[in-house]
Chain A
Amino acid sequence: MIQFSNVSKRYPGGHEALSNVSFHMEKGAMAFLTGHSGAGKSTLLKLVALIEYASRGQIMVDGENVTRISRRRIPFIRRKIGFIFQDHHLLFDRTVFDNVALPLVIAGYRHQDIGRRVRAALDKLGLLSKERLSPITLSGGEQQRVGIARAVVNKPMLLLADEPTGNLDPDLSREIMSLFSLFNDVGVSVLIASHDIPLIESLDYPVLSLEEGRLAQPEAGVA
């Protein structure tokens, strides 16, 4: 699903966020990405979602080389990916329903299909009763779940999560991780960046460990 070959990322300031990173995550796999803040976790996820571009090396996403991709093609790659952000990136000027519906609206789904799929996603995350509320009235955990609902509503092949449990208490964190396991069970590839080591160790998934931009075990094959 994701393949990095000798990928380096140097930011304009000269700071090298990733150095010579290679790994392969297969379709349907689930893995964690760990490391201290500043180790390059977010950068790696951004490279996959084409928010940033590699300075060197090759990146394949779903069999497509995205290293030198035209700008017009980017939106269509991103539609294959559900991205969950630490700070949710929800739009507070519209309801929970409309937030979750956004990916479907963008992809041009029919009105009836949108309603059906959004409610299914909200139901799965236990938010069905909140669909008419504004996200700003929800708790942190609920907002995070709205973000997850939006990421999964169009059934992406790949879920990327950047510190999804960053602001949540342990119980809530565990609950969210089990949600990711559920998605993985139905075939979605999942890559989660987190520094919550105890939580990660309690779950039995492969771990990619980044240290100052390098993978701790180079060439680590994942799952």
Chain B
Amino acid sequence: MIRQRNTRQRPRHGWQGRLQSILSPRIFLRRHLQVAFDSLSRLYRNRVSSLMTAAVIAIALALPAGLFLLLDNLDRLSGSWDGQASMSVFLKQDITDTQAGVLLKQVSEWPEVGAVELVTPAQALEEFSQRSGFADVLGALEDNPLPYVLIVIPASTQLDPVAASALQARFTDLPETELAQLDLQWVQRLAAILDIAQRIILIIGVLLALAVMLVIGNTIRLEIQNRRDEIVVTKLIGATNSFVRQPFLYSGFWYGALGALIAWAVVEGGFWLLAEPVARLAGLYHSDFSLETLPLQLLLVLLLGGILLGLLGSWLAVGRHLDAIEPT
């Protein structure tokens, strides 16, 4: 049988219409744009309650995002010491320049030592007076109280605590050594603490993501109930389930996006408030550390997460409640 070609863009009954509306990107796109816009204008019409819902979502998104950013900054701070994963070996006071030189040569051939540097008492004094601002006091001293120091950088870059302790013991056993001090112990401890904090934030984040989904799901459920008549009428007129579903999915989409935007503003605002005191504290430590938020990436991640959670939440609500509404 020869079918007459359908020259106009007019979906016909049944599967032909369905097929055509799927195959024609223009119809598809137009319909989606229209529904998206309708959903948005519906949110605008109830802007107070929409804004409140979005604010709840925003807080739930901003909390883990802000904490994570804070942690990331701390991580960066501790990471800046990673390059100095080193050990300070203080030699005995009576060690002479020659003895120190011999020891330096000897130690630098140990396989577990990556690099070693000798700091003379004069250099140490110089550095100390520069750093601490005690130049006057130190200048008043008759002779230099500081010993020779070997700055040892282990061969393996991995901070294996056992190997580090073994190396420390080997230096302590040397007759010339007064004290061998592992500089990276506290860095390791901080890293471990940060690890725990990261886990906690992950747990909080997952719980709050769940909360966002539930909030959106519940909002959509109420909206479905409010629009029950409309759903019944459109179904009576021949609306497919997907047609009925779309506006609600777009509502979830907009709630998620709106919440993400507010969350972004909250996090950026919070960090802006923190920036000044943090800079002052960093100044006290002679550091030029400052908080970083990477606004664009943060916005992208928040939007992506918010929209995804919004769609998921509304999808769940729609799946549970919408198909049950049938005309009677």
Contact = CB atoms under 8 A, between A and B. Distances in A.
Interface of A: 49, 51-52, 71-73, 75-81, 83, 89-91, 93, 102-103, 106-111, 113, 150
A108 B19 CA distance: 12
Nearest to A52: B328
Contact of B237 (A71, A73, A102, A113): A102
A91 B229 CA distance: 8
Nearest to A90: B233
A90 B239 CA distance: 15
A110 B11 CA distance: 10
7 closest pairs, A vs B, by CB? A79-B238, A78-B238, A75-B240, A75-B238, A106-B239, A76-B14, A108-B21
B236 A78 contact: yes
Given A51-B328, A113-B10, A89 B17 contact: no
B13 A106 contact: no
Contacts of A108: 11, 17, 21, 27, 31
Contacts of A91: 229-230, 233
Given A49-B236, A106-B237, A76 B18 contact: yes
Interface of B: 9-11, 13-15, 17-18, 21, 27, 30-31, 229-230, 232-241, 243, 326-328
Contacts of A79: 13, 237-238
Given A51-B327, A76-B17, A79-B238, A107 B233 contact: no
A102 B328 CA distance: 20
Contacts of A80: 13
B45 to A, nearest CB: 9
B235 A75 contact: yes
Contacts of B18: 76
A147 B229 CA distance: 15
Given A76-B14, A108-B11, A103 B237 contact: yes
A77 B31 CA distance: 21
A48 to B, nearest CB: 12
Contacts of A76: 13-15, 17-18, 238
A210 to B, nearest CB: 20
27 contacts: A51-B328, A52-B328, A75-B235, A75-B238, A75-B240, A76-B14, A76-B18, A78-B236, A79-B237, A89-B229, A89-B232, A89-B233, A90-B233, A93-B230, A102-B234, A106-B234, A106-B238, A107-B11, A108-B11, A108-B21, A108-B31, A109-B10, A109-B11, A110-B10, A110-B27, A111-B30, A113-B10
A114 to B, nearest CB: 11
A83 B234 CA distance: 12
Nearest to B236: A83
Contacts of B15: 76
A204 to B, nearest CB: 31
Contacts of A102: 233-234, 237
A51 B236 CA distance: 8
Given A51-B327, A51-B328, A89 B13 contact: no
A113 B31 CA distance: 14
Contacts of B233: 89-91, 102
